[in-house]
Amino acid sequence: MYLLSSAFVEGGKIPLLFTNLLAGGKNSSPPVEWRDIPQGTKSFVLTMIDLDVPWGETVPDYGKLPPCGSFLCDILVHWAVIDIPASVRSLVAGASPDKLPPGAKELETTFVKLFNADSNKYQGPAPPKGMRAHRYQLVLYALDIDRMHLSTNSDYAVLTEKMAGHVIATAQLSGFFGR
């Protein structure tokens, strides 16, 4: 299975449009598409995480971040979309929050808990100013179940626990952004 974007290539720079308002972007989710879907796929989950969060450090713009082990999963989740129907092969630019396929829903991001964001929607990259660029990883999961049966206030820990034993395949796409 492959995950692609017309906005950036693997290891490339994520365009400003798809970054957070804090970084000067529009907080528009990037366009993504997937191919070579394994047989038996009944739904998809798409996540986006920041792999380079300096947990426990004091950083520009955000202050002191929680230390490792004290914050749920120690993973900064920028986006989590569940219950994407198996017939769907792409999400358009700006799919979050109003252009998702019927049945798909967005879960709580780390921004809701850590930064008091007001809704479960895509939160684009906005690494602290003056630090090295961060790597953001989109991961698509092909599942053998139709629905996750999760509420929208479920977080990444609940999501990964619920997916356990149901993942048929995964595909990843990583991009970088710094400011």
Q: What is the mean pLDDT of residues 69-85?
A: 83
Confidence of residue 116 (pLDDT cuts 50, 70, 90): confident
What is the pLDDT, as a whole number, of residue 119?
77
Q: Where are the beta strands (DSSP E) in 25-156?
A: 32-35, 43-50, 58-59, 63-64, 76-85, 90-91, 105-106, 134-143
Confidence of residue 133 (pLDDT cuts 50, 70, 90): very high
Confidence of residue 56 (pLDDT cuts 50, 70, 90): confident
What is the pLDDT, as a whole number, of residue 73?
55
The Cα 40–Cα 131 span in angstroms is 43
What is the pLDDT, as a whole number, of residue 162?
96
* pLDDT tens figures, 21-40: 989 999 999 999 999 999 99
Q: Given phi > 0 = left and psi -120 to 50 = alpha, else beta, which region is 63?
A: left
What is the pLDDT, as a whole number, of residue 47?
97
- Looking at the chain, the whole-number percentage of residues with pLDDT higher than 90 is 71
Q: What is the mean pLDDT of residues 81-106?
A: 97
Q: What is the pTM of this model?
A: 0.94
- Provide the 8-state DSSP code for 59: E
The Cα 140–Cα 46 span in angstroms is 5
Q: How far is CA 99 from each of CA 29, 141, 165, rounded to the nearest angstrom?
A: 10, 20, 29
Confidence of residue 71 (pLDDT cuts 50, 70, 90): low
Name, of 4-13, 59-68, 71-80, 105-114, the range with top average pLDDT: 4-13
